[in-house]
Amino acid sequence: MSVYNYPAPCAPDYKKPTKVADCLPQARKLVTKIAASEQPKVGVAPRLFVKEGDVVLIVTLPDQDKYVAEAAAQALMEKGAKKVDFIYPRQLVGRDPEIVSVEDGWKEVELLKAGKASGTEADLITGLGLGEAARKHLDEHPEYTSIFFDVAGGNARRSLGKHAGKFRGYWPFNNWEWFLARAHTFPEEVWYEMERRLIEPLGKASQVRITDPEGSHLEFSVTPEEAKRWEIYAMLHGHLIFSTLHATSGEYRQKFLDETLDCPPVFAGVTGVLAGTANHCGFFPRIELYFERDKMVEVKGGGTYGDGIRDLKEKYKNTRWPGYPGKGYFWFCDTALCTSVGAFRRKSDMFNSQWVYPNLPERTRAGVFHLGFGSRTFAGEKEFEDYARKNKLPRGHIHVHNYMATFEVKLRGTNYWYKVVDKGWVSALSDGDLRGIAAKYGLPDEIMKYDWIPPLPGINCRGNYLKDYAPDPIKYLKKRIKEGKSI
């Protein structure tokens, strides 16, 4: 028997609903009533916020599960909604979203070229510009007091313009498997406390090291002031901002500038290699991306995904974004740690999805990192936007997922390295005090466990990573599906 240093693969097995009653208990847990004057706290974790008398519009996709839709509408009405309507992309933008598959991980770089990458105004759910279309629809239909749309990201509310106050949250529930996930009903108190414990060490960091068994090894250092700024803006519920550049640029930077100090975005000098086999769109042959002081300097492998990155890197090698320390398009600009303990890789539509990012669900599980490169748009900074427009530059960034990373910080003034995440396990989940809080809601061992751990042959299950997995992850995953094994 082989013994592995990483936890064995596992996955949840939700059953496809066959009636509304299969979805009602979950719908009732997700609906949260708020006061008329309250702004919902929307994070990546979806909640169905409702106010008394709301007339609700839900922007969904053609593959909407009908039992989920009925159950959600019923639960919203039980908690005070007057009416719940669903609307589809065809009615808003005149066409259906493309059907995509996780087999096409290379598409993420195509989205970047098309100006629809993460970090731009494109909605993550379809990339069809639903935000703007929804805004116009709300102009024409003032009776709606509440709207749900998109699946994550910070642009949904903003894209609604003067209707931003009607944004009640995301709607990732076209898919029944995602809707039924226990991930969304993780006790909120435990969730926030866990995140607080994850962020606190950042403010004490002097050096940072990220390693992963698929081959990543990245390091950078921060000054005391930079570490403090990082800690302050790392909190985005469900999706913590572990990139110093992300946490100190765009809207975050502007908040900090209120303090009358000049605090430019923090380029921490990320150096090393980012390696992996998956992104938000899907899978690709293993890629290695080399960075020197935040800038991408070399790309090895990656198949078509790698080719697309190499093309853009070459094409824009003389570009110098305003505010960036040198020339070049690809900068290390994203290290996000999602925190949904019960999240998982969604099987029901992974080869037949209407989300533009069919592999997005896996990255929401606590401990999974998605690391990104490209440009932080420095949203709202006119000079940056004008420059991109004038030079016809794509904006935004693309990703690599790391499942079993160790993220450790060297605590300032000591030689002690603290593992914030240890081989994919969020250390805070082992914190005695946090487990004490969790005990109010049930058995901590049950609440604070991962339902999903991906198979990586040679790393946490039988096989050879470089031979059996790295060249063609999809082939390996399909083989396991055929054998009835978890993916």
- Mutual orientation of helices 224-233 and 250-257 as an angle, nearest 10°? 110
SS3 289: strand
Which of 334, 381, 408, 468: binder of Fe ion (CB under 5 A)?
334
Could you tell me the smallest distance in angstroms from the CB atom of residue 243 to Fe ion?
A: 9
First and final C-alpha spacing in the chain = 21
Q: CA 331, CA 212: separation in Å to the nearest integer?
A: 20
Cβ-based nearer residue to Fe ion, 126 or 335: 335
Q: Does 118 bind Fe ion (CB under 5 A)?
A: yes
Instruction: Pick the stretch among 13-21, 111-119, 301-309, 444-452 that binds Fe ion (CB under 5 A).
Output: 111-119
Specify the stretch interacting with Fe ion by CB under 5 A; choose among 112-120, 232-240, 418-426, 458-466: 112-120
124 or 438: CB nearest Fe ion: 124
Please tell me what DSSP assigns to residue 232. H
Distances (CA, A) of 344 to 10, 27, 300: 10, 19, 29
DSSP assigned state of 345: -
For strands 55-59 and 83-87, give the pairing: parallel
* Nearer CB in complex with Fe ion: 306/372: 372
Q: Does 108 bind Fe ion (CB under 5 A)?
A: no
Closest to 156 in 3D by CA, of 44, 61, 69, 277: 44
Specify the residue, 105 or 372, whose C-beta has the smaller distance to Fe ion. 372
Q: Does 372 bind Fe ion (CB under 5 A)?
A: yes
State CA 109 to chain mean position distance: 17
CB of 112 to Fe ion, least distance (A): 11
Piece of 51-59, 137-145, 170-178, 332-340 that binds Fe ion (CB under 5 A): 332-340
- Minimum distance of Fe ion from residue 399's CB (angstroms): 6
Comparing CB distances to Fe ion, the nearer of 182 and 363 is 363
Residues of 198-210 as b/e, b for ≥16 C-beta within 10 angstroms? bbebbbbbeebbb
Q: Taking the complex as a whole, how short is the minimal distance between the CB of residue 388 and Fe ion, in angstroms?
A: 17
- Secondary structure (3-state) at 35: coil
Which residue number, 65 or 362, has a Cβ lying nearer to Fe ion?
362
Between 145 and 335, name the residue whose CB sits nearer to Fe ion: 335
12 vs 250 by CB, closer to Fe ion: 250
Kindly give the residue spans of alpha helices, DSSP state H, lying in 64-181: 66-78, 89-93, 107-113, 130-140, 155-159, 176-180
CB of 116 to Fe ion, least distance (A): 13
Rounded least distance, CB 108 to Fe ion, Å: 10
From the number of C-beta atoms within 10 Å of its C-beta (0-12, 13-18, 19+), residue 336 rates as buried
Least distance in angstroms from the C-beta of 150 to Fe ion = 14
Chain residues 135-164 in contact with Fe ion, contact rule CB under 5 A: none
Tell me the one-letter amino acid at 334: D
CB of 276 to Fe ion, least distance (A): 14
330/294 Cα distance (integer angstroms) = 9
List interacting residues with Fe ion (CB under 5 A): 118, 334, 372
